[in-house]
Amino acid sequence: MEISPKLLQPIPFYMSYPNYLGPEREPQILQDLEYLQQMYPDTVKKCQRRIAEILDKTDYEGSMIYDEYPDRLSLLHLADSMKKILEQEGMNPSEDVVGLLLLNEVYKRRHGGCRGRIF
């Protein structure tokens, strides 16, 4: 029995997950994420909005946020810069919160979600 060459093609790692539902579910996943973000506490919503505004400056064609595998150190540096800006504006989120909000916003932008909108 001969194996088809198509079966020997590598697949992205996430497609091997048992619950992977395919790219057609991406809009539904983004909609769910945005719905759940509506339930963030008010202080976190303010931070998220501001992070989205700051990220607008690094959101351009060829930006590192659209690299296939964004550089972790660059994202950490960006999150640190955002934390300093937020502290200057009177907000005091933890590094973890800023990092998480940044990664969520990058994810949404990479997959066509709304930019920083929380209703």
Q: Which domain holds residue 103?
A: 29-110
> Looking at the domain assignment, is residue 49 inside a domain?
yes
Asked whether residue 19 is domain-assigned, the answer is no
Q: What value does the mean pLDDT take over residues 5-12?
A: 61
Q: How many CB atoms lie within 10 A of CB 65?
A: 19
Nearest to 50, CA basis, from 102, 96, 106, 100: 102
Residue 72 belongs to some domain of the structure: yes
The answer to the question of residue 22 being in a domain is: no
Residues 6+ apart with CB under 8 A from 4: none
In a domain, 98, yes or no: yes
Question: In total, how many domains does the chain have?
Answer: 1
In a domain, 65, yes or no: yes
Is residue 16 in a domain?
A: no
pLDDT at residue number 91: 93
pLDDT one-digit tens code per residue, 23-61: 677 778 778 888 888 899 999 999 999 999 999 988 888
Residue 117 falls inside a structural domain = no
> What are the pLDDT digits (tens) for 76-112?
999 999 999 999 999 999 999 999 999 999 988 887 7
Query: What's the pTM value of the predicted model, to 2 decimals?
Result: 0.71
